[in-house]
Amino acid sequence: MTVANEQITDSSSYKGLSNFRVTVERLLELLDLEEEDEYGILRPTEYAFKTAMKLIVEAYDVLGDHFPKASTSTDDLGSITLNWKSLEPDCTVRLFCPSNADGQAYIYHYKNEEYKSEDIIAASTLVDWLEWFNPLLARQSIIVRQPSQT
């Protein structure tokens, strides 16, 4: 696995556009990696990169200023993983974007020793799990998403 400037930081700090920008910059840094080494592919495939960008852009459109920053990495096939990690409480959300269309994008989430993975069919799945990642964000989103009563 190759990590582009991964730093242990608390992804639950919400600084909106700057967090989104950091995440996009980290994805772009993956494109600058050597194409491969003795262990396999380092640079992500075009498919993995486009899938990751599409999902995070759509998530940012919904979350706006509450988008958390993620670390990024690739595997030896050119797939991409984005990792959101909270230091308090111990909570993780991982988005896996496969190297090609034969694979399935999925979300892995962990909190308080409970974990599960779920296939991604739409960006709304990512949004739901990023809201779960931070309960305060989820409460704010519920208020924002409620239809107006007229």
Examine residue 97 and state whether it is found in any structural domain, yes or no: yes
Please give the tally of structural domains in the chain. 1
Q: Is residue 150 part of a domain?
A: no
Identify the pLDDT of residue 113.
84
Name beta bridge partners: 40. 37
**Which pLDDT score is estimated for 21?**
94
Q: Is residue 98 part of a domain?
A: yes
The answer to whether position 35 is within a domain reads: yes
Residue 86 structural domain = 2-145
Task: Give the distance from CA 67 to its chain's centroid.
Answer: 10
Low-confidence ranges of the chain (pLDDT < 50): 2-14, 138-150
Tokens 């670390």 found at: 71
pLDDT of residue 15: 54
- DSSP codes, 71-116: EEEE-TTS-EEEEEEETTTTEEEEEEE-SSTTS--EEEEEETTEEE
What confidence score (pLDDT) does residue 135 get? 66
